[in-house]
Amino acid sequence: MFYAFSVLLAPIAEETGWARDAIVGAFSLSLLVAGIASAPVGVLIDRFGGRMVMSLGSLIGAVVLMLMSEVHTVAAFYVAWAVLGVAGAMLLYEPAFAVIYANFESNARNAITALTLAAGFASTVFWPLTQALVSSLGWRHSLLGLGILNFAICLPLHAALLPSSGAQRRRQSVQREPRPLPKESRGLGRILKTRSFWLLAFAFTANILAFSALSVHLISLLQEKGFAPMHAVWLAALVGPMQVGGRLIEFTVGRSFSPKFVGLVALTLLPFSLVALVFASSNPWMGFAFAVLYGASNGVMTIIRATMPAEFFGRDHYGAVNGALAAPVIAMRAAGPLLASLIWSAGGGYDAVLWVLAAVSILAMAAFSFAIIATPGRQE
């Protein structure tokens, strides 16, 4: 559903007459709710297992999508998206990673790689699918259809295939001898006082701003650039395979380089992709270059955000440090689409949005570089 929003934005605005900013605000609220709910959802997965939590998330998502097809007020639209945020917290990367870590033991890294590779095709599938549904049925019946798909496919898969709990892993963990903590271990309090932590937090937050802002507006942006609706959808859908390509390169060639260097390269690709998109109306190949660079950068950054806390600060406080780094990222992921809408309204088009996001992405790259300088050695 989150991938479908970009396709649904314009049709909803045209039929209802609601302001674009108001519609995008509902999506931002959903992301914010998902971020807030992610921590308690993780506790529920630890206690009850992934089967119950993710099955319930699929059920909630299916019901809300079907009900949303009948909303006629902005208030009801916001309530529906807020509840979808709760469902998203039960279904997206964070709960999936928690289930993997609870059940796959030493193979967790390979399982996560497989999951992110497959998930990279989500936009490739659901942007064209949603566009086809909207073109033939309208946005309301499209939501109804997506809800039925969620109920008929996702719910049975979660209920039938996921382990009921992670208790087996916890029993095995108790039997193991505890690993000695690294000598370089530092508490979260000390880490929060370091310049490298705040530089890294700024880099991740600025980077996610650009990605989250475009995730909702990309279809409308490409149409403003002169691409036909279906061409815009297919070009946007190319981002998914490019994410997978970026992750494959990181998993193979990238292993020969330090994670910090790979992260810097991924951050550098983003401003180049945004500048290419500025000139896509005069040269369609620039649109293709954007999809390649943007997708590869986004695909690699998913992995980099997960590995950098240990790379910079060691592993013994990974959970606390990763949570502290994620807090502003979650907030900006929610705010990004709305900020892009405000810039679009003030600037009179998407070129203003692209130039602002390019500047922000350059600042992210610079902050990451300074973080590397401030923390030259790996602390493990």
Residue 262 neighbours by CB under 8 Å, 6+ apart: 250, 254, 300, 304
Average pLDDT (156-182) is 60
Residue type, 129: L
Burial group, residue 354, by CB count within 10 angstroms (0-12, 13-18, 19+): buried
Q: Which of 237, 66, 76 is nearest to 142 (CA)?
A: 66
pLDDT of residue 96: 77
Give the least confident one: 25-39, 71-85, 124-138, 341-355: 25-39
Distance of CA 283 to the CA centre of its chain: 29
Q: Which tokens in the block code for residue 143? A: 């939501």
Average pLDDT (116-145) is 83
pLDDT of residue 318: 55
How far is 99 from 121, CA to CA, in rounded Å? 21
pLDDT of residue 171: 46
Task: Please name the fold of domain 184-380.
Answer: Growth Hormone; Chain: A; (1.20.1250)
Q: Which tokens in the block code for residue 363? A: 């600042």
pLDDT tens for residues 23-69? 888 887 887 887 777 767 767 777 787 889 899 999 999 999 999 99
pLDDT of residue 187: 65
How far is 22 from 20, CA to CA, in rounded Å? 5
93: how many CB neighbours lie within 10 A of its CB? 15
pTM passes above 0.85? no
Q: Which tokens in the block code for residue 179? A: 């690993």
- Which residue ranges make up each domain of the chain? 1-177, 184-380
Give the least confident one: 54-58, 154-158, 249-253, 315-319: 315-319
pLDDT exceeds cutoff 60 at 166: no
CATH number, domain 1-177: 1.20.1250.20
306: left (phi > 0), else alpha (psi -120 to 50), else beta? alpha
pLDDT tens for residues 77-112? 999 999 998 998 888 876 776 677 667 655 666 676
265: how many CB neighbours lie within 10 A of its CB? 19
